[in-house]
Structure 1
Amino acid sequence: MKILLAPDSFKDCLSATEVARHMAEGIKRVDKYAEIRSIPVADGGEGFVQTMLAMEGGQQISCRVTDPLGREIDASYGMLDNGLTAVIEMATASGIELLSSEDRNPLTTTTRGTGQLMKDAMRRGSRKLIIGIGGSATNDGGTGMARALGYHFLDQTNQEITEGGGHLDQLRHIDQSSVLPILKQTEIVVACDVNNPLIGPNGASAVYGPQKGATPQMVSQLDKNLTHLALIIQKDLQLDLSQLPGGGAAGGLGAGLVAFAGAMLRPGFSIISEQTGLEQAIIEADLVFTGEGKIDHQTKQGKTPWGVVQLSRKYGKPCIGFAGLLGDRYHELYHEGFSSLFALPNGPLSLEESLTQAPELISDTAEQVFRLIRRYAPPNS
């Protein structure tokens, strides 16, 4: 039996590569001769750069940037093709994991550090940037990123407004006079893992604001502010991005990259899939395992397991999903191609215990699932 392991990372816990390794360990307990192929997948979030570097070769570049609260930190990105292409993970500079739960406040956090990574890469000679925008701590519509590239966001007195999503209502004009000339010579492709628009009930603030520390009152304020930003972008840049699919990713950074950097949004999964030959691997497999930290109805918005199961369904291959948590309306995914879905905890566990025990839980669950499969699989499979 040929088994393909194509998981994403489990946030706060294990990389996609580690998840695949622990899945393989569980399968090998049942059949040490099982034919296993691992293709760890990242859709633009955690592990995106490492996945690309592992596939393409290249080097990792360190850069001094500001974190979501404006504090100086060291971040890194990857360079491929002798430096002509840079691969950037916005989470390394503007990610939620850089902040404690007490520090998370999307009214004040900024994407400036992501723009600093872009600027550094372009100045080193990169003329194509591939940017993964999962795992953000921000809700500023990409204005912080744009400031690092030379944009100015001015109020009614022509003064720079304060950074962060909580101050966008003061914006009256976007000044483009100091934008880096090299930006127009650079192709920018954004690996976007969701389809949410910038504003509205399915937008950046409503859907993702709470996990970044936003109260219901803050969510309302942030959505109004991004609506105002969209109006100013339409006035000054002649672009209507309010309902752009994926524009709401990373607190509106998706829309911001299109507006301020001329970027093209693409599903992160499709970028990785093309680079890894994932589709051909699924064709050759008998069984596919995928997974992510949480699987629920939002998985259908373009998350990694969704991409894997759609390819599996295309070729009639059974696909089984593993998750640390099966969330709201996960059962809807059974109608979309998943053969089965499994949550890892095997008893009452705290979040901390689940994270600590994740390697063992993944291996144990993979073993249990594969024992059942082997019990009813054809004799020669």
Structure 2
Amino acid sequence: MPNSRPPLIVVAPDSFKGSISAAGAAAAMARGARFAFGAAARIIEIPMADGGEGTLDALLAAWRCPPLFTAATDALGRPKTARYGVSADGLTGIIEAAEGNGLPDVLDVPLQPLRADSYGVGTIAGHLLDEGVEEILLCIGGSASTDGGTGLLSALGVRFLDATGNPVAPGGAGLGAIHTVDVSGLHPRAAAVKWRVAVDVANPLCGEQGAAAVFGPQKGAGPEDVKLLDAGLANLARVLTDFRPPVESNGRPGTYLTAPGFGAAGGLPLSLVALLGAETVPGAELVSDAVGLRAALAHADVVLTGEGCLDTQSLGGKVVDAVRRLAPSASPLVVVAGTVQLSAAQSMEAGITVAVSIARGPATLAELTANAELLIEDAAARACCGLAFLPGTERSFGLAESA
């Protein structure tokens, strides 16, 4: 017998990069689910993100708050208007660091990997501190800089000095010359608020898998630049260890050089952790906490999520991973994606009930992108129509009766 209670369906996708925002994808999936389960179905839309591009939009959509604007600078110090957000209660601020040091903003000129810095991000943060927030969520993907967060802290009043007591050059070029750090001018509220830094990679600060070696070339760094940046970050880590020595989970002394995630955004977490006591967290986890995903999923009968490409990386800290871990084990989990690269065995092992591509047949990326909204809606409807007729289980919802 079908359940008499209308099903509760939670829709929590990431954006489909370059095609549709998380909010747009959630709305499309919700329409597909409603087609399958009928008008009586209760549907909750929770746009998600993993700390990279689109995180600001996802949180603002979930909070039902408009974006705010402030004067800032790009990674080369040129004036720009940056977006940021504040929760409805005024206590939590959200910054997408790419608004102040994003790579797309500086592609109009030759890349300057040694000069680019994160000062503009600090300008946005200073504005939030002046507004009185008690917590700052900093999402740091898509950066043009490799400065270890020195630009951000400089904007908040910290001075990074060489052996003669003079300020070092901005950006990655000056990191190797840093000898001392003067925090006497630090913004009075900077160390009092809670900082959470969303990282979407596990790369360490330095070495072959570090910020300079892996991400520096994307920002225009040649082989010699990479060596200089890597050495500069290592020097900064040594200097900052005197302020807040890192400690491993077992309580033993650690090192900033190999801490997972410190290689994100050109080492941006380093100065924030060492000087402000910031906490680094997986981006999808940070967003999940901020939008109340756990509570929303607690009583869900069906869960839908999705992203542009469902592959093994999706199961390692991305949005799909966060949703599947929090979803009730007895509730069907539907993943809608531009492409599905997981095998049936991998999907089953991950707890995914149905993984469906938005492509109805052979199609180019341009065709999928141009029609993403309708294709996502259709894919969600196709998957949910199958779930609506799960015979002989407590999850049989009775499509015909509810439609």
Match of 2:128 among 90, 110, 121: 121
Alignment check: 8 A CA contact 1:193 1:301 kept: no
Task: Say whether 1:336 aligns with 2:350.
Answer: yes
Report Cα offsets for 1:66-89 as digits up to 9, x if no partner: 112221100132234654432222
What is the deviation of 1:255?
2.4
Alignment check: 8 A CA contact 2:198 2:280 kept: yes
For residues 373 and 232 of structure 2, what CA distance do their matches in structure 1 show? 42
Q: Which amino acid aligns with 1:311?
A: L
Cα 1:233–1:298 shift into 2, 3 Å: farther
Alignment check: 8 A CA contact 1:247 1:256 kept: no
Query: For this pair of structures, how many residues does the alignment match?
Result: 379
For residues 256 and 333 of structure 1, what CA distance do their matches in structure 2 show? 39
Report Cα offsets for 1:61-112 as digits up to 9, x if no partner: 4211111222110013223465443222222222334343875554432211
For residues 363 and 353 of structure 1, what CA distance do their matches in structure 2 show? 15
Cα 1:86–1:238 shift into 2, 3 Å: same
Report Cα offsets for 1:323-342 as digits up to 9, x if no partner: 33557999866533334544
Task: Say whether 1:369 aligns with 2:376.
Answer: no
Task: Say whether 1:287 aligns with 2:293.
Answer: no
The structure with more helix, counted as a fraction of residues: 1
Question: Which residue does 2:314 correspond to in 1?
Answer: 299
Cα 1:167–1:326 shift into 2, 3 Å: farther
Instruction: Give the number of the structure whose alpha-carbon radius of gyration is greater.
Output: 2
Question: Which residue does 2:266 correspond to in 1?
Answer: 251
Q: Which moved more, 1:116-125 or 1:247-256?
A: 247-256
Cα 1:102–1:36 shift into 2, 3 Å: farther
Match of 1:360 among 374, 399, 402: 374
> Secondary structure of 1:160's partner?
coil
> Secondary structure of 1:281's partner?
helix
> Secondary structure of 1:250's partner?
helix
Question: Which residue does 2:324 correspond to in 1?
Answer: 309
- Please tell me the root mean square deviation across aligned C-alpha atoms, in Å: 3.4
> Secondary structure of 2:268's partner?
helix
Identity %: 36
For residues 104 and 295 of structure 1, what CA distance do their matches in structure 2 show? 32
Alignment check: 8 A CA contact 1:246 1:255 kept: no
Task: Say whether 1:4 aligns with 2:10.
Answer: yes
Kindly report which structure 2 residues correspond to 1:1-381, keeping only aligned pairs within 5 A, or say none.
1-33=7-39, 34-56=41-63, 60-80=67-87, 83-100=90-107, 106-209=113-216, 211-213=218-220, 219=226, 221-235=228-242, 238-239=245-246, 240-312=255-327, 315-325=329-339, 335-345=349-359, 346-350=361-365, 352-374=366-388, 380-381=397-398
> Secondary structure of 2:335's partner?
strand
Alignment check: 8 A CA contact 1:59 1:80 kept: no
Cα 1:257–1:30 shift into 2, 3 Å: same
For residues 348 and 10 of structure 2, what CA distance do their matches in structure 1 show? 20
Alignment check: 8 A CA contact 1:68 1:112 kept: yes
> Secondary structure of 1:255's partner?
helix
For residues 257 and 184 of structure 1, what CA distance do their matches in structure 2 show? 10
Report Cα offsets for 1:125-177 as digits up to 9, x if no partner: 33432222233333221111111112223344544333333542343333334
For residues 264 and 233 of structure 2, what CA distance do their matches in structure 1 show? 13
The TM-score, its normalising length taken from structure 2, stands at 0.79
In the alignment, structure 2 segments of 5+ residues that lack a partner are: 1-6, 247-254, 399-403
Alignment check: 8 A CA contact 1:196 1:301 kept: no
Alignment check: 8 A CA contact 1:142 1:254 kept: yes
For residues 215 and 124 of structure 1, what CA distance do their matches in structure 2 show? 41
Alignment check: 8 A CA contact 1:68 1:138 kept: yes
Alignment check: 8 A CA contact 1:282 1:317 kept: no
Q: Which moved more, 1:18-27 or 1:218-227?
A: 218-227
For residues 296 and 84 of structure 1, what CA distance do their matches in structure 2 show? 36
> Secondary structure of 1:184's partner?
coil
What is the deviation of 1:195?
3.7
Q: Which amino acid aligns with 1:319?
A: L
In the alignment, structure 1 segments of 5+ residues that lack a partner are: none
For residues 9 and 66 of structure 2, what CA distance do their matches in structure 1 show? 31
Alignment check: 8 A CA contact 1:269 1:303 kept: yes
> Secondary structure of 1:182's partner?
coil
Runs of 4+ in 1 over 6 A off after TM superposition: 327-331
Alignment check: 8 A CA contact 1:41 1:272 kept: yes
For residues 261 and 64 of structure 1, what CA distance do their matches in structure 2 show? 24
What is the deviation of 1:289?
1.7
